[in-house]
Amino acid sequence: MYKNNNSSLLKKNNSYEYKETTNKKPKKTGASLYKKEKRADLEFLMKYIFFFSAALSVVSLCFIIYFIFSRSLPFLRDYGLLPFLSGEKWTPSNRPQEFGLLPMIVGSVIVTTGSVLIGAPVGILTAVYLVDYCPPFLYRFLHSAVQLMAAIPSIVYGFFALQFLVPIIRSIYGGTGMTALTAILLLAIMILPTVISLSEAALLAVPKEYYAGSAALGADHEQSIFNVVLPAARSGVLSSVVLGVGRAIGETMAVVLITGNQPLMPESLTSGVRTLTTNIVLEMAYATGRHREALIATSAVLFIFILMINIGFILMRTKERSK
């Protein structure tokens, strides 16, 4: 029997005849058509659900921006942006009222910078250990512990610092123990889960060929990790640090318990401070009139700080990608 693509030659009763053959697909039944239409309808529905979710996030952000700046701009126009940002006295109960935000700005910068300088290196090195050095039996415990740290409420961290860190600082430096240094140590602990988790994910995303190629060229384990793998994960590691900064500068309930909350220019790390967030939470409950507008303007300043940090991070990532 001889066959080609279009016909087959069949022998029948000592004679030959051609029988046309085709590659026709079987007709779709009603059930298969119904399933295909149902799947298309579901995909269409999910597409618009995802779009609605994304649009809702953008709209919510626009409403927040509108609320903050519509309430703060009239106050800033009346009081003055420069006196508000550079003033060193915050006395809303005096007459005339003074709303100098500089002590709170300096307090936020000191506390955030100090906590990141301590917490970021510790978090990154912890992530390196979990990915490249930790034994499997110990990894399960440490990984679960990091996730548990992220789930602890802020107020619990605050009570921990109040009962543990404050007495230690008091015994070493005297005073009440409620200082900028206490807040720095606490926030350094609080940003660890963010830095560790995101840095670990970034390190795991680096292709294994990077390490293998470095080892093949004669580099040892440490050289391959710190000279090849870690630089390759730089973007993700930097993201973790930026989110850690956002966590530190926006923390309120833990910080309000241990900083002393003094609206004065800090003279040293062992002085009491007040941050932008604690300034809002301490006085918003009873603030009225111009005092309330000044607190909303404080939230606008905090929002601009966070925005500047994120813009700086985006510019850094764009610069790296363009290299």
- pLDDT, tens only, 212-226: 898 888 888 888 999
Mean pLDDT value of segment 131-148: 90
CB 295 within 8 A of CB 284: yes
Tokens 């002590």 sit at which residue? 103
Dist. CA 15–CA 19, nearest whole Å = 13
Structural domain range at position 170: 90-322
Residue 120 lies in a domain: yes
CB 100 within 8 A of CB 83: yes
End-to-end CA distance of the chain, in Å?
65
**Tokens representing residue 80 in the block:** 């003055």
**Tokens representing residue 133 in the block:** 């050095």
pLDDT in the model for residue 323: 63
pLDDT in the model for residue 300: 92
Beta strands, E only, 95-234: 98-99
E strand or H helix at 11, and its extent? strand 7-12
Residue 301 lies in a domain: yes
Residue 15 lies in a domain: no
Answer yes or no: is pLDDT of 260 > 70: yes
pLDDT in the model for residue 18: 44
Answer yes or no: is pLDDT of 10 > 50: no
**Number of helices and strands in the chain (H, E):** 15, 5
Dist. CA 261–CA 249, nearest whole Å = 15
Mean pLDDT value of segment 195-207: 92
pLDDT in the model for residue 99: 92
Residue 94 lies in a domain: yes
**Tokens representing residue 102 in the block:** 């500089």
Answer yes or no: is pLDDT of 19 > 50: no
pLDDT in the model for residue 3: 42
pLDDT in tens, 65-111: 999 998 899 999 999 899 999 989 998 888 888 999 999 999 999 99
CB 114 within 8 A of CB 106: no
Residue 134 lies in a domain: yes
Task: State residue 205 phi and psi, 5-degree precision.
Answer: -80, -10
pLDDT band at 63 (very low <50, low <70, confident <90, very high): very high
Work out whether strand 90-91 and strand 2-3 pair parallel, antiparallel, or are unpaired: unpaired
Q: Which residue has the higher pLDDT, 19 or 166?
A: 166
Q: Is the peptide bond before 96 cis (omega within 30 degrees of 0)?
A: yes
309 closest CA partner among 251, 245, 252 = 245
pLDDT band at 5 (very low <50, low <70, confident <90, very high): very low
Per the structure, the count of domains in the chain is: 1
CATH number at residue 307: 1.10.3720.10
pLDDT band at 33 (very low <50, low <70, confident <90, very high): low
Residue 83 lies in a domain: no
Residue 43 lies in a domain: no
**Tokens representing residue 113 in the block:** 């910078």
Residue 165 lies in a domain: yes
pLDDT band at 114 (very low <50, low <70, confident <90, very high): very high
